[in-house]
Amino acid sequence: MTGFALGAEQEEWCGQLRALAADRLRPLADKGEPGRVNRPLLAALGELGLLERVFTSGALELCLLRESLAYGCTEAETALALQGLGAHPVLASGTPEQRSRWLPEVRAGRAVAAFALSEPGAGSDAAALALEAVRDTGGGADRDGGGWRLSGEKCWISNAPEADFYTVFARTGEGPAAKGVSAFLVPADRPGLSGEPLDMLSPHPIGRLSFDGVPVGPQDLLGEPGRGFRVAMDTLNRFRPSVGAFAVGMARAALDATLAYTAARRAFGGVLGDLQAVGHRVAEMATRTEAARLLVYAAAGAYDAGSPDVPRRSAMAKLLATETAQYVVDHAVQLHGAVALQRGHLLEHLYREVRAPRIYEGASEVQRTIIAKELYR
């Protein structure tokens, strides 16, 4: 890839993914129950080798994968991304035993992963989390002693309460704020762990988790005690550009639908696309989408190159791409008119899907704060 265009092989792969999403994955997504984990869809992603790609791809390839799946089936894209988000800390910071137990199951689509960072009082301000890990001298999950008991709540956790394991961030107290957070791998069947679904604008499950003295031991740690916030930020820095890619995929789908509709819809003695106001609107939608796409690819390329400015680039990519997708989908709905508001219409679906990415994995305001801090560093 140059700085401005994909190579022929990359373009061909993206085209194959878009077709696969529409022909193979879309029918499975349509059979799923809103707000529930679609395990047949996950199994298909595993069978097709796409979940494996989440863990073996560089950041750019992950962006191309997410963008292409989002174009044809947002549910498949989200299911794939949540597996990566929940299990990447295991890949990056887990023990050999944790990796061998869980990663093959995640890659096959048999085990559902979840990333449990947010809390009722700690969403955008992730360093303010309050889930407490108290030393358990009686042993807890660690038969040799030296474990912890987790007490508190997590909220707005994707795939909860249906996940098979959770990457959980808790305050172990080695230092103030972010310096006193540790990461744990917590299987869903651990005593004291319960959850309930939340009724939200989302096609996948989002829930609340309650920790009532949940036992965890040193063997459940992901990385070192007190270094859990770094585990979280490393995961988010990897996935933020690809959240932007998800948004770009939705924007491109909305743009293509608008081009087709305005080129055929007759009104005022011609077609809508002949009207200057419409043509200019579509031109703006296309320009913003292309700018977002290039910024996402640049951020992914910086991550793959080990660039020191990854936090800034990742934040810029997520910010611009998610805000752009909101703009493009909204204007696509406006140009389609009432037809786009019918249940089941592509744009009705995208209109519901496009809002959440401006909030999760760091709201737009958080991304602006990150960018400003990096610029003034």
Q: What is the DSSP string of 96-155?
A: HHHHHHHHHHHHHTSS-EEEE--BTTBSS-GGG---EEEEETT-TT-TTS-EEEEEEEEE
CA distances from 296 to 57, 64, 302 (A): 16, 10, 10
CA 129 to CA 179: how far, in whole Å? Answer: 12
What is the SS3 assignment for 344? coil
Residues of the chain with CATH 2.40.110.10: 113-226
Q: Residue 129 is which amino acid?
A: L
pLDDT beyond 90 at 127: no
Catalytic residue (one of 119, 323, 353, 361) = 361
Rounded Cα distance between 77 and 66, Å, is 6
Report CA dihedral (121, 126, 131, 133) to the nearest 10 degrees. Answer: -160
At which residue do the structure tokens 């474990």 appear? Answer: 147
- pLDDT of 141 reads 52
Q: β-strand 206-216 against 147-158: which pairing, if any?
A: antiparallel
What is the location of CATH 1.10.540.10 in the chain? 8-108
Count of Cβ atoms closer than 10 Å to residue 223 Cβ:
18
Please report the pLDDT score of residue 125 as a whole number. Answer: 75
**What number is the average pLDDT over the span 43-53?**
97
List where CATH 1.20.140.10 sits in the chain.
Answer: 230-376
CB 121 within 8 A of CB 99: no
Q: CA-CA distance, 165 to 321, in Å (whole number)?
A: 30
Residue 72 has pLDDT above 60, yes or no: yes
Its pTM surpasses 0.85: yes
pLDDT bin (cut points 50, 70, 90) of residue 88 is: very high
Mean pLDDT of 140-169: 87
Which of the four pLDDT bands, split at 50, 70 and 90, describes residue 145?
low
pLDDT tens-digit series, residues 6-15 = 899 999 999 9
- Just give the CATH number of 230-376: 1.20.140.10
Residue 202: per-residue pLDDT: 80
- Give the model's pLDDT for residue 339: 96
Kindly report the CATH number that applies to the domain delimited by 8-108. Answer: 1.10.540.10
Give the pLDDT band (50/70/90) at residue 122. Answer: confident
Give the percent of the chain with pLDDT over 90. Answer: 84
| Residue the block writes with tokens 């036992």 | 215
> In the predicted model, is pLDDT for residue 90 greater than 80?
yes
Contact of 159 with 205, CB cutoff 8 Å: yes
361 catalytic, yes or no?
A: yes
Judge whether residue 137 has pLDDT over 80. Answer: no
Q: Mapping DSSP to helix (H, G, I), strand (E, B) and coil, where does residue 222 land?
A: coil
Q: Is the pLDDT of residue 143 over 50?
A: no
Structural contact between residues 328 and 251, judged by C-beta atoms closer than 8 angstroms: yes
Whole-number pLDDT of residue 3: 61
HSE toward the beta carbon, residue 130, CA cutoff 13 A? 9
CA of 354: how far to CAs of 35, 132, 134, 345, 360, in Å? 16, 34, 39, 14, 11
Mean predicted confidence (pLDDT) in 123-140:
78
Mean pLDDT in residue range 349-358: 94
d(C-alpha 79, C-alpha 22), whole Å: 15
Contact 356, 202 (CB under 8 A): yes
Is the predicted pLDDT of residue 138 greater than 70, yes or no?
no
Determine which of 33-47, 137-151, 331-345 has the lowest per-residue pLDDT on average. Answer: 137-151
The pLDDT assigned to 128 comes to 81
CATH number of 113-226: 2.40.110.10
- Overall average pLDDT of the 264-278 stretch: 94
Q: What is the pLDDT of residues 188-226, one digit of tens each?
A: 999 999 999 999 888 788 999 999 999 999 999 999 999
